[in-house]
Structure 1
Amino acid sequence: MSTAVPKPHVVLIHCHDLGTWLSCYDAPNAPTPRLRELADESVVFDRAFATSPLCTPARSALFTGISPHRNGLVGLTHHGWRYAAGVRTLPERVRDLGCRSSLVGLQHEDPDPAVLGFDEVRGLGFLPRALQVGRESADWFAEHGRSETPYVVTIGMWEVHRPWPAEDYAPFPAADVDVPPYLPDNADTRADLSGLYGSIRQLDDAVGMTLDAIEQHGDPDNTLVIFTTDHGAALPRAKGTLYDPGVRVAMIARPPRAWRVPAGRVSSLVSHLDVVPTVLDLLGAPAAGELEGRSLRPELSGDAEAPADRTLFLQKTYHDSYDPIRAVRTDRFKYVRNYVQGPKLVLSKDLEESQTRRGMGDEHLQPRPEEELYDLDADPWEMTNLAGTADWEPVRSRLAGRLDESMADTGDPLRHGPIARPPAPVRR
Structure 2
Amino acid sequence: MKTLLLTIDAWRASHASFMPDPAGDHTPNLARLAEDGVVFTEGVSHGPATPYAFPSVFTSTLPLDHGGYEHLSEDRTLVSEALDRAGWRSVGVHANPWLGEKYGYARGYTDYRDVGEFGLPGLERGRQFLLNNFSLDHPVYRAAQYVYRYAQKPLRTVTGDAAEIEIAREALEDADDDTFVWTHLLEPHAPYTPPKRHREAVGVPEIEDSPAQLVTRAQHEPESFTERERRVVRGLYAASVRHADEKAGKLLRSVDDDTLVIVTADHGEALFEHGQVGHEPNLHDELVHVPFLVRPPAGAETSIGTVDTQVRHIDIAPTILDYAGVDAPTSYRGRSLRPAIEGDDLDDELVISEVASTPTEPGRLAPDALQVAVRTPERKLIYTNDGIEGFDRRDDPGERDPIADPTGEDWDALRAALDDRLAAIEIADSDGVERDEDVQKRLQDLGYLE
The one-letter code sitting in structure 1 at the alignment partner of 2:203 is P
1:57 partner letter: Y
Report the CA distance between 1:143 and its aligned residue. Answer: 2.2
Q: What is the identity, as a one-letter code, of the residue corresponding to 1:413?
A: E
Q: Give the counterpart of 1:120 among 111, 119, 127.
A: 111
**Which residue of structure 2 lines up, in the alignment, with residue 364 of structure 1?**
none
Aligned CA RMSD, in angstroms, stands at 2.8
Deviation at 1:393, TM superposition (A): 4.9
- Residues of 2 paired with 1:319 and 1:279: CA distance? 33
1:235 aligns with 2:228: no
Deviation at 1:114, TM superposition (A): 7.6
Q: TM-score, normalised by structure 1?
A: 0.77
Residue 384 of structure 1: which of 386, 391, 401 is its match? 401
Gaps of 5+ in 2: 121-155, 206-222, 437-450
Instruction: Give the distance between the partners of 2:269 and 2:197, measured in 1 at CA.
Output: 17
Distance 1:265 1:167 in 2: 32
- CA deviations over 1:346-384 (Å, ceiling 9, x no partner): xxxxxxxxxxxxxxxxxxxxxxx5210011111111111
> Does structure 2 retain, via aligned residues, the 8 Å contact 1:169–1:202?
no
When residues 378 and 86 of structure 1 are mapped into structure 2, their CA distance, relative to the original with a 3 A threshold, is same
Within 1, Cα distance between the matches of 2:227 and 2:325? 52
How far apart are the structure 2 equivalents of 1:116 and 1:251?
A: 25
Identity among equivalent positions (%) equals: 24
Question: What are the residue-to-residue correspondences of 1:130-169 with 2, within 5 Å?
Answer: 131-144=162-175, 147=176, 149-165=177-193
Give runs of ≥4 in structure 1 deviating > 6 Å.
none
Tell me the amino acid that sits aligned with residue 132 of structure 1: A
SS of 1:413's equivalent?
A: coil
Report which of the two has the higher share of helix: 2
SS at match of 1:156: strand
Secondary structure in structure 1 of the residue aligned to 2:353: strand
Rounded to whole Å, the distance in 2 between the matches of 1:406 and 1:241 is 17
SS of 2:92 mapped into structure 1? strand
Of residues 389, 412, 417, the one that matches 2:425 is 412
Correspondent of 2:377 among 325, 331, 348? 331
Of the three residues 260, 284, 290, the one matched with 1:224 is: 260
Counterpart for residue 295 of structure 1? 336
**Residue pair 2:194, 2:240 contacting (<8 A) in 1 also:** no
Query: 1:192 deviation in Å?
Result: 0.2
Q: Which of 330, 340, 344 is the equivalent residue of 1:304?
A: 344
The equivalent of 1:349 in structure 2 is none
Paired residue total = 361
Matched residue SS, 1:277: helix
Q: Aligned pair 1:54/2:49, yes or no?
A: yes
Q: Please give the TM-score of this superposition, normalised by the length of structure 2.
A: 0.73
Q: Are residues 138 and 110 of structure 1, via their aligned partners in 2, closer, same or farther at CA, if it must alter by over 3 Å?
A: closer
Alignment counterpart, residue 85 of structure 1, candidates 58, 61, 74: 74
Q: Which structure is richer in relative contact order (CA contacts within 8 A, separation 6 or more)?
A: 2
Question: Which residue, 189, 203, 209 being the options, matches 1:173?
Answer: 203
Mapping for residues 179-218 of structure 1, pairs under 5 Å: 186-214=227-255
Per the alignment, do residues 169 and 54 of structure 1 end up closer, same or farther by CA in structure 2, a change over 3 Å counting? farther
State how far apart, in whole Å, the 2-side matches of 1:23 and 1:15 are: 14
Verify the 8 A CA contact 2:26 2:241 in the aligned structure 1. Answer: yes
The alpha carbon displacement at 1:316 in A equals 1.4
